[in-house]
A and B are shown apart, each in its own frame.
Chain A
Amino acid sequence: MSTIPPTDRPDRPDGTDRNDRTDGTDEHSDLVLTPRDVRFDWDRVPVHWVPGEPTATHVINVLHMLLPEGERWFVRVFQQAVPLITDEELRERVLGFTGQEAMHAEAHQGVLDHFVAKGIDIGPYIAQVEYLFNHLLGDKEGLSPQREREYLIERVAIIAGIEHFTAFLGDWILNAKALDRAGADEIMLDLLRWHGAEEVEHRSVAYDLLRHLDPGYLRRARTMVVSITALLQLWVRGTRFLLAVDPELAGSVEPSVRTAWTAARRGLLPNPVKLGISALRYFSRNYHPSQEGSTRQAIAYLGASPAARAAAH
């Protein structure tokens, strides 16, 4: 080699030029994103897949209730946004993103169907989630073409905000060794880590799409406030609901912030303080998702994941 390469850097680079996505770091910015045809066999997976931790289990189980409808909504919004993209490379990344999200929705739907078969009556919460993503955040009647376009971009911006958290959670689950130690179910961990790794892999797409459609700061900051408030409320409501309707618990476990906090301290849930600090970084003018999480770690997991390897063609 004619040039001596730079020394090995930690995987989290510090501030970079915000106009050049990842120049000067060793993060991949040019990955070809393609969905993986994963399948999971849920038959033997228990509802309480972290043994003896009903609160921690159900906090994470809320994901299975939110994601199928939520990610299908992502796909619909991004499909509508594709004709607005004038950059061929970005368009291909957005299309790869939609396929990955569609597969995530199907995989979590599988868990959801399994939970229903186990006798958890999640219908009322699902009805609300459907109302949220199909009606509240769906297409609106009677908008002018220009307002319709701006409303579409507003929703792309909300998704970019949510994707900041999915990347945070993806990075967390890839490193959550405490769940392995607690004896968490291997198939469920593989689902969450495969999903988490793809979230880390494609974490820049929604943000880059937003910047392409509207590079302004105000929309990004405003929609982050929307995303974080809505996610927090949906999560608290979902956890309370699951603890209430789970027939195995029969109402014996009270929803408690203290229990959740203790579980987070033990590494079974993400640390809320780190989550808050991560959310604040989104408001920095130098923010870019490539600075969050490690693509290399995600790639390494996708090569090792039993489901992703079985799906490889």
Chain B
Amino acid sequence: MSRPQPPRLVPPPDLYGRPRPDRYLQALDWLASKYVPLFTGKDRYGTRPRPPETHPQELTVVSREPVADDVVSLRLATGDRRLLPRWQPGAHLDLILPSGRRRQYSLCGDPADRYAYRIAVRLLPDGQGGSAEVHRELTAGSTVGIRGPRNAFPFAGDRKVLLLAGGIGLTPVLPMAREAAWRGLDWHLVHTGRSRASLPFAGEVARLAARHPGRVTVLTDDEHGMPSATDLLARAGEGTAVYCCGPVPMLDAVQAAFARSEAKALHFERFSAAPIVDGKPFTLRLRDGRELLVPADRTALEVLRADDPGTPYSCQQGFCGVCKLRVLSGTVDHRDRKLSAQQRADGEMLVCVSRAAEGECLELDV
């Protein structure tokens, strides 16, 4: 990928320095010259049967109930109550809200219930409006676009498990606790929050605690004080796998304290796109002469993908190099961790993170 080689037309020399082209590669060359014409004649792609549509794209809110201060839980099903795709603990659903906003919410119901998904949404007054829209628009009987479910926080079912949930972060963790219980694992769940009233699904957690004495701990700041990450990880014995979901400060603290704990593994939900810091609007000019505006709050990659869904990319954080494009003119504000000074001088750019100064026009070779 990163080191394109000029095509070599003569097979390289023999491995052990005998003065002739390598016979093995010569033979492969000859084979390829027969193979390619023989097996590319039939248009199999053009004549293939259409792959069937499997995942529903829209679900109906069948019920809605408050489960804590500012938290509602929604049950979603297809209009005709069809079987839904299966999922496992840690999976999330993408909701495509009426405004076009796309938000991801963990599934927090029972994976064995194949006819409805349950999610829970906390109202974030200072958020970007996604949770407010869910609370306002998604009443019982309304429909919402969905994608998934998909899983970015899979549960491995390790023998010893410590589950750490902060507030609404309980949603992916609750199904993990249930799976741990029925698999007969050595598990422990800690649910933290500001106050009892702020903890979602307190009733379900209490029932879990009653059925599995000693395996569930609820810590609230007003009763117990704010727990430190070291306190939380102290419950992990040797060889324990820790699964953590909660606010960013909690995740950072647990990650920082992890090396000093006895635990063996740490799992948390992995988000791909990095937030844009200090972005300014700029323009991309394509080979066909069209100009695309990149707003301050979007990446060049997002804009290119909206124009052509086949645009390659992968990590969205500027390290894998899959989205690399050549810039023909314009000054790039490089923000990746991958390209060498030479590659940058050659006009290469990772469009997932790198940008340009306000009003700059980058002419791309695409």
Contacts and interface: CB of A to CB of B under 8 A. Distances in A.
A216 B149 CA distance: 28
A103 interface: yes
Contacts of A99: 313-315, 320, 322
Contact of B13 (A34, A105, A124, A214): A124
B156 A296 contact: yes
Contact of B8 (A1, A134, A295): A134
A132 B28 contact: yes
B39 A150 contact: yes
A32 B337 CA distance: 23
A31 B320 contact: no
B64 interface: no
A72 interface: yes
A100 B319 CA distance: 11
A300 B156 contact: yes
Contacts of B272: 32, 34
Contacts of B262: none
B100 interface: no
Contact of B86 (A23, A86, A106, A215): A23
Contacts of B148: 30, 89
Given A28-B151, A30-B151, A143-B40, A149 B112 contact: no
A130 B5 contact: yes
A35 B270 CA distance: 10
Interface string B302-322: 000000111111110101111
Interface string B50-91: 010001000000000000000000000000000001111001
A85 B113 CA distance: 31
A131 interface: yes
Contacts of B264: 304
B277 interface: no
Contacts of B314: 34-35, 95-96, 98-100, 102
Interface stretch (A75-83, A175-183, A262-270, A276-284): A75-83
Given A300-B156, A300-B265, A1 B110 contact: yes
B125 interface: no
Interface string A137-160: 110100100111111011000000
Contacts of B310: 82-83, 85
A32 B265 contact: no
Interface stretch (B130-138, B176-184, B187-195, B340-348): B176-184
A216 B43 CA distance: 12
Interface residues of B, number: 85
Interface in A91-140: 91, 95-96, 98-100, 102-103, 105-106, 124-125, 127-128, 130-132, 134-138, 140
Contact of A140 (B12, B36, B86): B36
A297 interface: yes
A244 B49 CA distance: 51
Contacts of B197: none
A75 B15 contact: no
Contacts of B178: 1
A138 B255 contact: no
A299 B90 CA distance: 12
B241 A304 contact: yes
B7 interface: yes
A256 interface: no
Interface in A164-206: none
B104 to A, nearest CB: 10
Interface of B: 1-3, 5, 7-9, 11-17, 22, 24-25, 28-29, 32, 36-37, 39-46, 48-49, 51, 55, 85-88, 91, 110-113, 147-152, 154-158, 178-179, 182-184, 241, 255, 258, 264-268, 270-272, 274, 308-315, 317, 319-322, 337
Q: 9 closest pairs, A vs B, by CB? A: A99-B314, A303-B265, A83-B310, A304-B265, A300-B156, A32-B152, A150-B40, A127-B12, A3-B112
